[in-house]
């Protein structure tokens, strides 16, 4: 662990802190249907035109059922749209490499993956997808799944902020406004920055480079080999891939690919882009419920969980792999298998933590080749529910569910009806909250169990021994958690895995959203209870401690047995034996 790595981590957290309030203020305006932004002049006519085209009355709000139904129907239409694009890509334009259509199972997996904001990659961008499929089939969901996540978070925050109200907002208004006023301008700026760093943005066929023999002056037997360099409209896709915590790579190697993440600066900005909107949403929460300290307390809880994970991952990766050290490797190098020199160990460990704290899933290093404890960190991050800043929207609504549980548990301990921000937390609220916690647990452990005893599950393994089990658990955690990163040695592009992973992704997204929206509706209907000195404080050290404790304890109780058989036993085998698999 070097001082530079520490400075990089400090700089990252410092920048995030400074950007939280500006982004939060921006969210306050965008998520208010009448809010004014400085983009009103060019975009207001577009917004009005869209409402007219869709037949939406922006002044009319929906109750939670109607809001949820709109979201589900829109997501279904988007899923079918992308499925069609991928199946028909050989007939569609912008396909200079003449790729054929995707197989039905792969197209279903990829469409489900992007609709659910997961972006699991069973496809390999540069050998499978045309520019049109990337730019239209995938980028569409990069925007709208992010906007849908933010919309659900906004509905839940409205539920908290309102009282005796039947409605929680209008889905179509939230969808349109978040895309137009937030994601679109931010993506445009970020894509140009990325292009300035070297991320490609063109529609040219793949470039063939000439072999350099003879012209080199180096003598016979020395030569530069010819190459084929993939191209494409990557910068515009990578920008929203990060801002929307999507994570699906334009290229197979994702953000490790030099055309997708060319410099340490592009890497730093991409990491910030992942956390930007989720961090801003904590400020939005504080503003809307008129308790800014509460918003910052949630931010601080997230920052603490982030910091611990980042340090553990960095330390494990710096220590490296003793099996390789005995071959004469310089121990200062750390674990470099699957990592890029320009990022090195610190920026790779930091990226792995950020991308799994959030539900992003972009990778700038191959998690499968991390040390056991270094790889444990991203896995645990996903299994805690990706509530550490988390996915855009999904991080905040996941964390609010944990707050409801924390308030409930504290209420049980002191023997008082639990209340949160003046709302009584009743049986119904606790039931739907627990349901959202249980959905991913069943999806992760259920599918993993089935895969680890089924021939279809074991057929795809890239590594043997405990690491193989880790690959399976990681795959279904990533899918159900809508993360999208992988222990990528697992070959998930088989019909069985394509379907199983797609089902896990759909459960982890939509079966979660319904109870969250039910919670939003229930909270909105409640009357306010006046606060007294016995009310549960929702800021300060005790609140932060209880919230962090709830997140960690629920996660640990659920997943520790499975983790013990995967990364944890692997760690002890690495340090305490000579066994190889």
Within 491-550, the residues that bind another protein by CB under 8 A are: none
Quick one: 175 or 507, whose CB is closer to another protein? Answer: 175
Give how many residues touch another protein by CB under 8 A.
135
Of the listed pieces 99-107, 222-230, 286-294, 427-435, which binds another protein according to CB under 8 A?
A: 222-230
Q: Is 239 exposed, middle or buried (0-12, 13-18, 19+ CB in 10 A)?
A: buried
Quick one: 364 or 522, whose CB is closer to another protein? Answer: 364
Minimum CB–partner distance for residue 260 and another protein (Å): 8
For the segment 353-392, give every residue that binds another protein (CB under 8 A).
Answer: 363-366, 368-372
Q: Pick from 70, 23, 40: which is nearest to 517 by CA?
A: 70
Minimum CB–partner distance for residue 384 and another protein (Å): 23
**Cα distance between residue 570 and residue 212, in whole Å:** 45
For the segment 108-137, give every residue that binds another protein (CB under 8 A).
Answer: 124, 126-127, 135-136
Q: Pick from 390, 361, 312: which is nearest to 149 by CA?
A: 390
Minimum CB–partner distance for residue 367 and another protein (Å): 9
Q: Pick from 168, 180, 164, 182: which is nearest to 70 by CA?
A: 168
Crossing angle of helices 394-414 and 512-525, rounded to 10°: 60
Structure tokens at 494: 């088989």
Of the listed pieces 304-312, 429-437, 464-472, 493-501, which binds another protein according to CB under 8 A?
A: 464-472
Quick one: 152 or 235, whose CB is closer to another protein? Answer: 235
**Cα distance between residue 187 and residue 191, in whole Å:** 6
Q: Tell me, what DSSP letter sits at residue 137?
A: I
580 binds another protein (CB under 8 A): yes
Return the residue of 38, 40, 337, 459 that touches another protein, per CB under 8 A. 337
Minimum CB–partner distance for residue 231 and another protein (Å): 6
191 binds another protein (CB under 8 A): yes
**Cα distance between residue 213 and residue 206, in whole Å:** 22
253 binds another protein (CB under 8 A): yes
For the segment 296-335, give every residue that binds another protein (CB under 8 A).
Answer: 320-321, 323-324, 327-331, 333-335
For the segment 154-183, give every residue that binds another protein (CB under 8 A).
Answer: 172, 175-176, 179-180
219 binds another protein (CB under 8 A): yes
50 binds another protein (CB under 8 A): yes
248 binds another protein (CB under 8 A): no
Residues 6+ apart with CB under 8 A from 259: 198, 199, 200, 229, 230, 234, 250, 251
Of the listed pieces 275-283, 344-352, 380-388, 537-545, which binds another protein according to CB under 8 A?
A: 344-352
Return the residue of 223, 413, 556, 564 that touches another protein, per CB under 8 A. 223
Of the listed pieces 14-22, 138-146, 282-290, 540-548, which binds another protein according to CB under 8 A?
A: 138-146
| 83-88-93-95 Cα dihedral, nearest 10 degrees | 90
By three-state DSSP, how is residue 535 classified? coil
Quick one: 176 or 439, whose CB is closer to another protein? Answer: 176
C-alpha distance from residue 361 to each of 118, 119, 170, 497 (Å): 7, 7, 29, 18
139 binds another protein (CB under 8 A): yes
For the segment 6-25, give every residue that binds another protein (CB under 8 A).
Answer: 7-8, 11
Quick one: 11 or 542, whose CB is closer to another protein? Answer: 11
459 binds another protein (CB under 8 A): no
C-alpha distance from residue 561 to each of 83, 316, 441, 508 (Å): 37, 21, 13, 21
C-alpha distance from residue 253 to each of 106, 426, 501 (Å): 18, 47, 20
57 binds another protein (CB under 8 A): no
C-alpha distance from residue 447 to each of 57, 424, 441, 465, 569 (Å): 43, 36, 10, 19, 21
**Cα distance between residue 363 and residue 248, in whole Å:** 9
Return the residue of 57, 59, 203, 557 that touches another protein, per CB under 8 A. 203
Minimum CB–partner distance for residue 216 and another protein (Å): 5
Crossing angle of helices 139-161 and 394-414, rounded to 10°: 30
For the segment 401-430, give every residue that binds another protein (CB under 8 A).
Answer: none
H or E element at residue 423: strand 423-424
438 binds another protein (CB under 8 A): no
Minimum CB–partner distance for residue 578 and another protein (Å): 10
Return the residue of 263, 494, 535, 539 that touches another protein, per CB under 8 A. 263
Quick one: 465 or 495, whose CB is closer to another protein? Answer: 465
Quick one: 376 or 551, whose CB is closer to another protein? Answer: 376
Quick one: 82 or 301, whose CB is closer to another protein? Answer: 82
**Cα distance between residue 109 and residue 141, in whole Å:** 14
**Cα distance between residue 166 and residue 67, in whole Å:** 12
564 binds another protein (CB under 8 A): no
Q: Pick from 172, 170, 175, 173: which is nearest to 150 by CA?
A: 175
42 binds another protein (CB under 8 A): no
By three-state DSSP, how is residue 166 classified? coil
**Cα distance between residue 197 and residue 262, in whole Å:** 6
264 binds another protein (CB under 8 A): yes
């Amino acid at each position: 662990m070097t001082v530079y790595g520490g400075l990089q981590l400090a700089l990252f957290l410092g920048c995030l802190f400074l950007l939280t309030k500006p982004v939060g203020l921006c969210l306050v305006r965008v998520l208010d249907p009448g809010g004014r932004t400085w983009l009103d002049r060019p975009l207001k006519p577009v917004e009005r035109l869209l409402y007219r085209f869709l037949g939406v009355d922006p002044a009319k709000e929906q109750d939670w059922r109607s809001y949820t139904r709109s979201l589900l129907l829109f997501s279904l239409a988007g899923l079918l749209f992308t499925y069609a694009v991928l199946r028909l890509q050989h007939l569609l334009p912008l396909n200079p490499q003449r790729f054929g259509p995707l197989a039905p199972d792969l197209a279903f997996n990829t469409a489900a993956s992007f609709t659910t904001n997961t972006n699991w990659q069973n496809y390999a961008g540069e050998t499978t997808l045309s520019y049109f499929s990337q730019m239209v089939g995938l980028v569409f969901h990069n925007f709208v799944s992010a906007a849908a996540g933010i919309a659900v978070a906004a509905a839940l925050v409205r539920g908290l902020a309102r009282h005796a109200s039947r409605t929680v907002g209008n889905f179509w208004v939230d969808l349109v406004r978040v895309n137009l006023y937030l994601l679109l301008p931010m993506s445009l700026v970020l894509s140009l920055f990325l292009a300035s760093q070297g991320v490609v943005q063109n529609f040219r066929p793949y470039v063939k480079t000439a072999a350099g023999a003879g012209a080199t002056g180096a003598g016979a037997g020395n030569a530069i080999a010819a190459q084929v360099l993939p191209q494409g409209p990557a910068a515009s896709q990578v920008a929203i891939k990060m801002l929307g915590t999507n994570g699906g790579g334009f290229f197979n190697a994702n953000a490790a690919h030099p055309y997708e993440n060319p410099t340490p600066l592009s890497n730093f900005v991409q990491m910030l882009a992942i956390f930007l909107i989720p961090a801003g949403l904590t400020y939005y929460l504080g503003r809307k419920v008129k308790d800014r300290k509460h918003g910052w307390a949630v931010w601080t809880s997230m920052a603490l969980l982030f910091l611990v994970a980042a340090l553990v991952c960095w330390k494990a990766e710096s220590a490296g792999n003793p099996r390789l050290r005995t071959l004469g490797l310089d121990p200062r190098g750390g674990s470099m298998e699957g990592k890029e020199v320009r990022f090195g160990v610190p920026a790779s460990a930091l990226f792995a933590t950020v991308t799994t704290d959030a539900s992003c899933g972009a990778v700038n290093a191959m998690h499968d080749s991390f040390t056991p404890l270094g790889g444990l960190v991203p896995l645990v991050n996903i299994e805690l529910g990706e509530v550490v800043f988390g996915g855009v929207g999904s991080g905040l609504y996941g964390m609010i569910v944990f707050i409801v549980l924390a308030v409930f548990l504290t209420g049980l301990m002191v023997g008082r009806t639990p209340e949160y921000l003046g709302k009584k937390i009743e049986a119904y609220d606790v039931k739907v909250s627990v349901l959202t916690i249980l959905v991913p647990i069943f999806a992760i452990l259920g599918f993993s169990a089935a895969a680890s005893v089924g021939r279809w599950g074991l057929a795809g393994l890239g590594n043997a021994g405990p690491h193989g089990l880790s690959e399976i658990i990681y795959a279904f955690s990533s899918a159900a958690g809508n993360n999208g990163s992988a222990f990528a040695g697992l070959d998930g592009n088989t019909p069985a895995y394509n379907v199983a992973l797609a089902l896990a992704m759909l459960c982890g997204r939509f079966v979660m959203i319904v109870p969250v929206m039910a919670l939003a509706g229930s909270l909105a209907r409640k009357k306010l209870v006046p606060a007294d000195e016995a009310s549960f404080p929702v800021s300060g050290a005790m609140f932060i401690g209880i919230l962090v404790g709830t997140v960690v304890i629920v996660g640990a109780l659920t997943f520790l047995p499975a983790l013990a058989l995967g990364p944890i036993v692997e760690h002890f085998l690495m340090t305490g034996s000579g066994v190889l698999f």
